């Protein structure tokens, strides 16, 4: 993987390609359940004269349907001396407070970056099975501290919804 990285990002230490998230595979029973739930909520919204709520859940259904049939993209991840490049996004070490490498299900083979952002505090990067976790830990330890990131409700929803 000899992709050129501009020098502004620093020297490349590690690189790998991975899917942006796990593919979502819903069975027929799950699809029927979700459809029934959305229809029930939209019917309730119309019954209570809440058109905004009905429109919101119709949009949630449309977006969910479109995301369900969209295959996850392959992204290239580079760990450099100045930060981490994930696809087209660059996360500088100055904005990353700590990292954690998950090894236990359901978060196995996942790098979690805790940032100083107010809206999105944790960024999850799949590392796959091809990258050596010890080499990744050694590379990141040079620039940011390791810390335990306990998965929260948002992390569980992210994993469950494959986003």
pLDDT tens track for 30-80: 888 889 999 999 999 999 999 999 999 999 999 888 877 777 788 888 999
- Residue in the structure block whose two tokens are 């799950």: 30
Q: What are 71-74's contacts with CB under 8 Å, separation 24+?
A: 71/23, 72/19, 72/20, 72/21, 72/22, 72/23, 72/162, 73/19, 73/20, 74/17, 74/18, 74/19, 74/20
**What's residue 38's pLDDT?**
94
Is the pLDDT at 126 greater than 70? The verdict is yes
Least confident interval from 40-49, 50-59, 139-148, 152-161:
152-161
Beta bridge partners of 124: 112
Q: In this predicted structure, what is the pLDDT of residue 19?
A: 83
Query: Which residues fall within 8 angstroms of residue 108, CB to CB, at 6 or more apart?
Result: 102
pLDDT, residue 41, reads 95
The answer on pLDDT for 27 being more than 70 is yes
């Amino acid at each position: 993987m000899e992709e050129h990285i501009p020098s502004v990002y620093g020297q490349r230490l590690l690189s790998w390609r991975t899917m942006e998230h796990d593919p979502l595979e819903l069975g027929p029973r799950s699809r029927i359940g979700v459809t029934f739930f959305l229809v029930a909520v939209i019917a309730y919204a119309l019954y209570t004269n809440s058109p905004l709520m009905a429109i919101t859940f119709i949009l949630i259904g449309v977006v969910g349907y479109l995301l369900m049939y969209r295959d996850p993209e392959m992204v290239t991840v580079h760990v450099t001396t100045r930060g981490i490049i994930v696809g087209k996004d660059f996360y500088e070490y100055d904005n990353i407070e700590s990292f954690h490498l998950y090894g236990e299900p359901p978060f196995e083979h996942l790098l979690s970056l805790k940032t100083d952002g107010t809206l999105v505090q944790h960024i999850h990067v799949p590392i796959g099975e091809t990258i050596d976790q010890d080499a990744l830990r050694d590379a990141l330890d040079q620039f940011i501290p390791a810390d335990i990131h306990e998965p929260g409700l948002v992390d569980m929803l992210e994993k469950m919804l494959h986003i």
